[in-house]
Amino acid sequence: LAENKKYHRVMLKLSGEALASDKGFGIDSDVVNRLCEEIKAVTKAGIEVAVVVGGGNFWRGLRGSGAGMDRASADYMGMLATVMNALALQDGLEKHGVDTRVQTAIEMRQVAEPYIRRRAVRHLEKGRVVIFAAGTGNPYFTTDTTAALRSAEIEADVMLMAKRGTDGVYDADPKFHPEAKMFTHLTYSEVLQKELKVMDNTAITLCMNNNIPIVVFNMDVPGNIEKACLGEKLGTLIER
């Protein structure tokens, strides 16, 4: 397994939903368990794993639970939600014997390390999983953008977008258009031009400017996280 690995360091973007049951809310221990088993297998293969986790299973800024609120306050609540997910993930990983550090972009020293780039890189080099919490620390951003930013900062080889309920990027929403086709390959500009709903434009642009390839894949299929991290062809690849 380890010999055919394509990546040295990966960024795994998990939405908050990734930790939830099928209802999409809260944290489901069975789901977290399976997730952690897969991440453990990846670290065993000698691949450095950084994780950015979202918060949508608890709270989303203006587009969601925070509708009607002041934008910045709603967004800060979303960032706090990601910290809860990061702690749950850390707990799960450590129960599986995987050394894990949480670094938060909003300081809360009793809870997690503050985000320090050099320190994060050092953890990764030592084989620890690093979970980046609290997004970028700034309202008006998303955790997809956080994943792109941190990917650039830690020089990840690829950004892996683990999705639930979809195999990759389609030309139309397959829920409403059964004839929709999945792309196996796209360029950044195609995503922008076709206005494909993969992630926000800020995230895509950041990946484009820093030449970070993106793989969008289905994490519902057991083994797919491992496959994606090993660089097997999966889902949709977005690059230059």
Positions touching ligand UDP (CB under 6 A) are 15-17, 54-56, 60-61, 74-75, 78-79, 81-82, 135-136, 138-139, 141-144, 146
CB of 38 to ligand UDP, least distance (A): 18
List all residues 6 or more positions away from 58 whose beta carbon is below 8 Å from its beta carbon. Answer: 16, 25, 26, 81, 84, 85
CB of 54 to ligand UDP, least distance (A): 2
For residue 100, give the amino acid letter. Answer: T
What's the rounded Cα separation, in Å, for the pair 208 and 214?
10
Residue number with CB closer to ligand UDP (7 or 141)? 141
143 is known to lie in a ligand binding site: yes
- Tell me which residue has tokens 């993930």: 89
Residue number with CB closer to ligand UDP (143 or 224)? 143
What's the rounded Cα separation, in Å, for the pair 176 and 55?
26
137 is known to lie in a ligand binding site: yes
146 is known to lie in a ligand binding site: no
CB of 72 to ligand UDP, least distance (A): 8
CB of 179 to ligand UDP, least distance (A): 27
What's the rounded Cα separation, in Å, for the pair 171 and 177?
9
Residue number with CB closer to ligand UDP (43 or 82)? 82
Q: Which residue is nearest to ligand UDP (CB)?
A: 54
CB of 24 to ligand UDP, least distance (A): 10
Residue number with CB closer to ligand UDP (60 or 123)? 60
48 CB-contact burial (10 Å; exposed 0-12 / middle 13-18 / buried 19+): buried
Annotated binding-site positions for ATP: 13-16, 56, 60, 170, 173
Binding residues: 13-16, 55-56, 60, 75, 136-143, 170, 173
In the annotated binding site for UMP, the residues are 55, 75, 136-143
